[in-house]
Amino acid sequence: MIAAVFWIWDNGSVEGTVSRVAMRRSLRLKWRNELDRLVDSLATGFGAGYLPWAPGTWGSLEAVFLALVVHQVFPLQERMILGAFLLLLVVPAVLSSGRAARSDGDSDPSRVVIDEVVGQILCLLWVPVSVISVVAGFLLFRFFDIVKPSPARESEGLGGGVGIVCDDLIAGIYAGVSLKILFYLTGH
């Protein structure tokens, strides 16, 4: 038995096994680091959450600019495309914001702005995109996101990513309905 161990050691098999194990561990750590960067990037709105002074406002502005770009490129399909963005982003928003909250030890870290992005997109689905609608929608969404009328404030108690995203979706509904009423009353 001892002779076999020395024979393996001399032939490099043990060293090769050790290096293969170390390489696998290194690849797992690298993959986990890449996944953490991707999750952080999504949760922070691709870095907007790190901007100074009201990161949630920057996240909302990202959605406004996205809506304007979609309007310029696909004016006839803007609502469908924005709706598809919303559907594609909600689950990753919940997962990434929940993971960021756990890693920060904070129930709703200010750097997490993907919730503002999805809430703002939901708000802008209620009326056709125009400069007037995005400005009014932006202001209404920020108002309802800050004030958090019921049940938005209570939804934060759901915890994790669901609580982080849900209050902004509710604020988006309040803002979208208000925007629709405003446009109806003004004849737009």
Tokens matching residue 119: 């809430």
The predicted pLDDT at position 32 comes to: 65
| Rounded Cα gap, residues 95 and 97, in angstroms | 6
The predicted pLDDT at position 45 comes to: 92
Residues of the chain with pLDDT under 70: 1-32
**What is the helix (H) or strand (E) element at residue 183, kind and residue range?**
helix 160-186
pTM for the model stands at 0.81
CB distance 99 to 43 below 8 Å: yes
> In this structure, is the dihedral angle defined by the CA atoms of residues 88, 92, 43 and 153, taken in order, positive or negative?
positive
The predicted pLDDT at position 22 comes to: 58
Q: What is the pLDDT of residues 1-42, one digit of tens each?
A: 554 444 444 555 555 555 665 556 665 656 567 888 888 889
| Rounded Cα gap, residues 39 and 137, in angstroms | 28
Q: Which of 133, 115, 131, 126 is nearest to 174 (CA)?
A: 126
Rg (CA), the chain: 24
Q: Which of 167, 148, 169, 168 is nearest to 158 (CA)?
A: 167
The predicted pLDDT at position 145 comes to: 95
CB neighbours of residue 76 within 10 Å? 8
Task: Give me the count of residues in the chain.
Answer: 188
Tokens matching residue 175: 């803002």
The predicted pLDDT at position 31 comes to: 58
